[in-house]
Structure 1
Amino acid sequence: MNLPPIRDAATVIVLDRDTPQGPAVLMGQRGATAAFMPSKYVFPGGAVDPGDAAARLSKPLESEQRRLLALDPIAEHPDLPEALAAAALRELAEETGLIAGLPGDAPQGWPLHAARGLAPDPSALIYVFRAVTPPRNTRRFDARFLLLDADRLEGDRNDFSAACDELSHLHWVPLTEARALDLPFITEVVLAEIAAIAARPGPLRGPERVPFFDNRGEVPRFSWLS
């Protein structure tokens, strides 16, 4: 059986814990004609681009998050954690118009950051989940889900005017309502993890072990990364 190639990907879950409806996450709907997960509500994200590993970041990843992101790669890639972080923040800016950054030189090809004189800041990203697309799909991704506190966003978190058209109906969805949307299965699972994290008092903290739905082979496997 010839399986489609698996691409590294990053998804960013932006969490606002201070809305009147309680904790909420930023989601949008994929187009009805999209090749991957049409019409589904998803978090911003996408595949790692060739230039992501070289993107200049304003701060380094937190050391424990970097260590976890480097575990069990598909192929040897020394800059994979940084590439995943850059992909997450790039896709967030492209798909929503929102930026997590600090004053500095923007990477080449990051127009929203350049217009505001910001370099992407991955220092608050928290690795919370990993999942590989099952073999039956024609497009397959090794997706790392990264959590970001909405307080780390620059500017108005409700201004989506600079977003591209890849996601529609962008809005903050209360966690109590999110699972009623048309979601991919894995998004439902991740939302349960986020609800548990959001319920903890104090600063956002990731899991000590990252859940991993591993579908790289023909037989699915669940494990923990630690």
Structure 2
Amino acid sequence: MGESGKAEKEADHHPFRRPVDAATLILVDRADATPKVLVGKRHDKVVFMPGKFVFPGGRVDKTDGRVPVAAPIPKALEANLLKGRPQITASRARSLAVAAIREACEETGLCLGRKGNGSAPELKGPWRPFTEAGLLPDPSGLFLIARAITPPGRIRRFDARFFTADASAIAHRVDGVIHAEAELVELVWVEIGSKPLADLHPMTKNVLNELEKRLATGPLRHDADVPFFHFYGGRMQKDVLGA
């Protein structure tokens, strides 16, 4: 069965599934002439995209809106997240940025944070590594690269925001997160355009292409156009978010 046939079959079974908010973080190392991005190889036995190279990410959790942070998200980042439909609140925008940091720490052991003012509160659950390192999550260095909504008919649908941050923002590393039985079995820093990135999901490749274009222009800026990938009439559309 071809890809269109698969999509039609899935649509027959899951025509009304509403996408859930999700966030992905692309960490970039620009120490060399060609930027490198961090990808993780998924376990061969997981249901979603087994054996594929992915960027860390996942759905927004309830704790993401309540956890204290070292610094607020920039107003310009908040403005980008508030663009488009359905309309979200400023608190939801914050949750999306914070979710990207949590997912990266959970899946890769790399935590973006810094010491807050005064004694840091004790964080629990997935945020415990920050407490152990005396840190608070820090979303102030994140940039929004793209937004993408999974097409109708899929058993899992996400309204995903793709963020990027510089590798220099990594403040803590948790040992033992990557191993043979983990969700991600390997982490690799790879140059943009290299072979592992050719095996990415097509939508993720679209986002990576947008990031490459942004990086080629110099330092990242919040006032650059943010693409919005979505499906209409059975075809993928690329718009500018908020246009």
TM-score (norm 1): 0.88
Residue 3 in 1 paired to residue 23 in 2?
no
Contact 2:23 2:59 in 1 (8 A): yes
Residue deviations 1:162-195 (CA, integer Å, cap 9, x gap): 4252212211011130565421001111111121
> How far, CA to CA, are the matches of 2:174 and 2:154 in structure 1?
31
> How far, CA to CA, are the matches of 2:212 and 2:171 in structure 1?
24
Query: Residue 137 of structure 1: CA displacement?
Result: 1.8
SS at structure 1 position matched to 2:227 = strand
> How far, CA to CA, are the matches of 2:188 and 2:42 in structure 1?
13
Query: Residue 65 of structure 1: CA displacement?
Result: 0.7
Q: 1:23 to 1:78 in 2, by over 3 A?
A: closer
Shifted more, 54-63 versus 205-214: the winner is 205-214
Residue 134 in 1 paired to residue 151 in 2?
yes
Structure 2 counterparts to residues 157-196 of structure 1, below 5 A: 161-163=175-177, 165-178=182-195, 180-196=197-213
Residue 85 in 1 paired to residue 97 in 2?
yes
1:210 is aligned to 226
Query: Residue 69 of structure 1: CA displacement?
Result: 0.6
Residue deviations 1:124-183 (CA, integer Å, cap 9, x gap): 10001010111232101000000101111115xxx6634252212211011130565421
SS at structure 1 position matched to 2:199 = coil
Structure 2 regions of 5+ residues with no counterpart?
1-11
In terms of Rg, which structure is larger?
2
Amino acid paired to 2:170: L
Residue deviations 1:98-140 (CA, integer Å, cap 9, x gap): 1111113254321111110100000010001010111232101
Q: 1:41 to 1:23 in 2, by over 3 A?
A: same
Point out the structure with the larger helix share.
2
Contact 1:211 1:224 in 2 (8 A): yes
2:7 is aligned to none
2:42 is aligned to 30
Query: Residue 79 of structure 1: CA displacement?
Result: 1.1
> How far, CA to CA, are the matches of 2:79 and 2:71 in structure 1?
16
TM-score (norm 2): 0.82
> How far, CA to CA, are the matches of 1:37 and 1:215 in structure 2?
20
Contact 2:190 2:196 in 1 (8 A): no
> How far, CA to CA, are the matches of 1:194 and 1:46 in structure 2?
19
Q: What CA RMSD, in Å, does the superposition of the two structures yield over aligned residues?
A: 2.3
